[in-house]
Amino acid sequence: MATLARLQARSTFLVHQYYFRNSAVDVFRKKEYDAAVKIQSWFRGCQIRAYLRYLHRVATVIQKCWRGYLGRQHYQLIVKLEFCTMKMNLYNAMAVRIQKRWRGYRIRKYCFNYFYLKEYLKAVSETNDAIRYCYQGFAILDELCDHTAWRLKRKNTTLFPVYSMLNTSSHQMCGFSMPGNLRHQEALEEFAEMKEREEKKADLEREEKKRDYQARKMHYLLSTKQIPGIYNSPFRKDPDPWELRLQKAKPLISQRPKVKQKRDVNISNQLACTSARSLPQSEILPPIDRKQCQGPFRDITEVLEQRYKPLEPTLWMAEPINELKMAREELRKQEWMRNINDNMFLPFSSYHKNKKYIPLMHSSSKYGPNSYGSQHFRDENPKKWICDKDFQTVLPSFDLFSKYGKLYSKAGQII
Amino acid sequence: MHSFTKDQSPWIPNGKEGVMSLLRPLLLDVVPTIQQTAALALGRLANYNGDLAEAVVKGDILPQLVYSLAEQNRFYKKAAAFVLRAVGKHSPQLAQAIVDCGALDTLVICLEDFDPGVKEAAAWALGYIARHNAELSQAVVDAGAVPLLVLCIQEPEIALKRIAASALSDISKHSPELAQTVVDVGAIAHLAQMILNPDSKLKRQVLSALSQIAKHSVDLAEMVVEAEIFPVVLTCLKDKDDYVKKNASTLIREIAKHTPELSQLIVNTGGVAAVTDCIGSCKGNIRLPGIMMLGYVAAHSENLAMAVIVSKAVPQLSVCLSEEPEDHIKAAAAWALGQIGRHTPEHARAVAVTNTLPVLLSLYMSTESSEDLQTKSKKAIKSILQKCTYLPALEPFLYDAPPNILKHVVGQFSKVLPYDSKARRLFVTSGGLKKVQEIKAGPGSLLQEYINSINSCYPEEIVRYYSPGYSDALLQRVDSYQPLAN
Coil, helix or strand at residue A372: strand
Q: Which residues of A touch B484 (CB under 8 A)?
A: 311
pLDDT of B377 over the 90 cut = yes
Q: How confident is the model at residue A179 (pLDDT cuts 50, 70, 90)?
A: very low
pLDDT in tens, B2-13: 565 566 555 555
Q: Which residues of B touch A151 (CB under 8 A)?
A: none
- Alpha carbon distance B275, B277 (integer Å): 5
Please choose, from the candidates B317, B326, B392, B327, the residue with its C-alpha nearest in 3D space to the C-alpha of residue B353. B392
Is residue B268 a contact partner of residue B260, using CB atoms and an 8 Å limit? no
Is residue B269 a contact partner of residue B231, using CB atoms and an 8 Å limit? yes
Alpha-carbon distances, residue A339 vs A80, B240, B294 (angstroms): 20, 93, 73
pLDDT in tens, B302-356: 999 999 999 999 999 999 999 999 999 999 999 999 999 999 999 999 999 999 9
Q: What is the mean pLDDT of residues A77-104?
A: 97
Residue of A nearest to B307 (CA): A121
Mean pLDDT for all residues in chain B: 89
Residues A134, B268: C-beta atoms closer than 8 Å: no
CB atoms within 10 A of CB A108: 12
Q: What is the mean pLDDT of residues A279-289?
A: 63
Coil, helix or strand at residue A218: coil
Please choose, from the candidates B28, B25, B23, the residue with its C-alpha nearest in 3D space to the C-alpha of residue B8. B23
pLDDT of A100 over the 90 cut = yes
Give first-to-last CA distance, chain B, whole Å: 128
pLDDT of B243 over the 50 cut = yes
CB atoms within 10 A of CB B437: 19
Phi, psi angle pair for A240, to nearest 5°: -60, 145
Q: Which residues of B touch A129 (CB under 8 A)?
A: 273
CB atoms within 10 A of CB B222: 17
pLDDT in tens, B231-241: 789 888 888 88
What pLDDT, on the 0 to 100 scale, is given for residue B145?
92
What pLDDT, on the 0 to 100 scale, is given for residue B19?
77
Least confident of A6-15, A182-191, B60-69, B128-137: A182-191
Looking at the complex, report in whole angstroms how far the Cα of residue A139 sits from the nearest Cα belonging to chain B: 12
Phi, psi angle pair for A376, to nearest 5°: -135, 150
Q: What is the mean pLDDT of residues A356-361?
A: 86
Peptide linkage before A347 cis (omega within 30 of 0): no
What's the CA dihedral at A314, A320, A324, A325 to 10 degrees? 170
* Full DSSP string of B147-214: HHHHHHHTSS-HHHHHHHHHHHHHHHTS-HHHHHHHHHTTHHHHHHHGGG-S-HHHHHHHHHHHHHHH
Q: Which residue intervals of A171-256 are DSSP H helices? A: 180-217, 241-248
- Alpha carbon distance A122, A131 (integer Å): 14
- Alpha carbon distance B301, B296 (integer Å): 10
Q: How confident is the model at residue A39 (pLDDT cuts 50, 70, 90)?
A: very high
Residues B193, A128: C-beta atoms closer than 8 Å: no
Question: Is the ipTM here above 0.90?
Answer: no
What pLDDT, on the 0 to 100 scale, is given for residue B11?
56
pTM assigned to the model: 0.60
Q: Is the dihedral of CA B391, B393, B395, B400 positive or negative?
A: negative
What pLDDT, on the 0 to 100 scale, is given for residue B55?
85
Residues A117, B303: C-beta atoms closer than 8 Å: yes
Residues A161, B261: C-beta atoms closer than 8 Å: yes
Size of the A and B interface in Cβ pairs below 8 Å: 93
pLDDT of A156 over the 50 cut = no
Q: How confident is the model at residue A181 (pLDDT cuts 50, 70, 90)?
A: very low
pLDDT of A328 over the 60 cut = yes
- Alpha carbon distance B291, B311 (integer Å): 14
pLDDT of A334 over the 90 cut = yes
- Interface contact B267, partner A, CB < 8 A: yes
CB nearest A175 (choices: B197, B307, B478): B197
- Chain-centroid distance of CA B385 in Å reads 27
Q: How confident is the model at residue A132 (pLDDT cuts 50, 70, 90)?
A: confident
Residues A121, B306: C-beta atoms closer than 8 Å: yes
Contacts of A305 by beta carbon, 8 Å cutoff, 6+ apart: none
- Chain-centroid distance of CA B197 in Å reads 24
Phi, psi angle pair for B311, to nearest 5°: -80, 15
The radius of gyration computed from the CA coordinates of chain B, to the nearest angstrom, equals: 33
What pLDDT, on the 0 to 100 scale, is given for residue A153?
53
- Alpha carbon distance B68, B70 (integer Å): 5
What pLDDT, on the 0 to 100 scale, is given for residue A43?
97
Is residue B181 a contact partner of residue B149, using CB atoms and an 8 Å limit? no
Q: How confident is the model at residue B14 (pLDDT cuts 50, 70, 90)?
A: low
Q: What is the mean pLDDT of residues A238-249?
A: 84
Domain ranges of chain A: 20-112, 115-151+186-248
Strand locations in B305-363 (E): none
What pLDDT, on the 0 to 100 scale, is given for residue B246?
95
Looking at the complex, report in whole angstroms how far the Cα of residue A302 sits from the nearest Cα belonging to chain B: 15
Residues A161, B274: C-beta atoms closer than 8 Å: no
Q: In this structure, which amino acid lies at residue A346?
A: L
- Alpha carbon distance A116, A136 (integer Å): 29
Is residue B127 a contact partner of residue B159, using CB atoms and an 8 Å limit? no
pLDDT of B402 over the 50 cut = yes
